[in-house]
Amino acid sequence: MPVPSTADADLGETGRVAPGMRFPPETVAALSAHPRFPEAARRVAQCLLSLYRGNRLLNQLVNDRGRFLLAFLLLHFHYSRRPDDPQSGLTAGRVVETCVTHGICSRGRAKALLMLMRVAGYIAPAPDAADRRYRVLVPTERLIALHHDRWRCQFEAMALVLPEAATALTLLERPAFAPAFLRPLVAHFMAGNRVIDYSPELSGFIDRNAGFLILMSLLLAGDPEQPERPAAISISGLARRFGVSRAHVLKFLRDAAEEGLIAREGHGAEQIRLLPRFLAAMHSFIASAFLFNALAAREAIDATAGAA
């Protein structure tokens, strides 16, 4: 199902963008041009890859970007629960409908994902659900801790280029922070904003199985000082790490070369060279993600300060 269209918006002095509006291209470009941005991009890639927990069955049900979206939707729905409304909060039906409406995955896959997340200990039935007609769920401490680790990782990298991230780090563990941080992120998602829209060159790769993870791995393969120098990469290593086939990784690299994102070099094409188009697209992708997170962090900082 197509998502709603977006339009360019003027950030103004506050740096806030209403749901359904877009960051101007010059704003994304300006952040990408920050002297420390390449360092921040590599740092967030390293950290997110270090947090990756593979599951071959989950990989077959939905791609890594879909799992990421689903996980933060689960937390948002949980935090939005109202005691006087049994249909609010995190319910199986709400999750399934959101997955279908916003193109995350099919109804059947969404139900299977919820089942697997229960088995894995990420969600559980709500012990205090008064109306058993609604399958109310709650995130476990395991899922909450995973998200806090991910946010800490992102904010530490963002702090190199965006000052509000450093403030967010000091408030991350306060109870008011997570609900306020998730609200604007989910509002933008529901309105049709997607980080990939800022890097259309990657659209044919990001939703492939382990696509996000392979792209981040390619970014890190480049030399920090001279990212366009040829670098060795292990196709078998990537396949093992991310639970995909060697043929899947090989096709990914071949297609990336055909799209002018990388060049494959050396005997047996065992080396890659990151081309300017790849670096620009990845930096734009990460910069736009930073901007959305910074926007949400500002609202969370305000809400947390008000709750203190």
**Per residue in 183-196, pLDDT tens?**
999 999 999 899 99
Residue 22 pLDDT class (50, 70, 90 cuts):
confident
Residue 170's pLDDT is: 96
Residue 39's pLDDT is: 97
**Per residue in 130-152, pLDDT tens?**
556 667 899 999 889 988 999 99
Per domain, the residue ranges of the chain are 37-193, 200-279
Query: Is domain 200-279 in CATH 1.10.3210.10, yes or no?
Result: no
Does 37-193 match 200-279 in CATH topology?
yes
* pTM for the model: 0.88
How large a percentage of the chain has pLDDT more than 90?
A: 58
Residue 116's pLDDT is: 86
What is the spatial distance between Cα 230 and Cα 226, in angstroms, rounded to a whole number? Answer: 9
Candidates 3.40.50, 2.60.40, 1.10.238, 1.10.10; correct CATH number of 37-193? 1.10.10
What are 106's two structure tokens? Answer: 């099919």
Mean pLDDT, rounded, of the chain: 86
**Per residue in 209-249, pLDDT tens?**
889 999 999 999 988 888 889 999 999 999 999 888 999 99
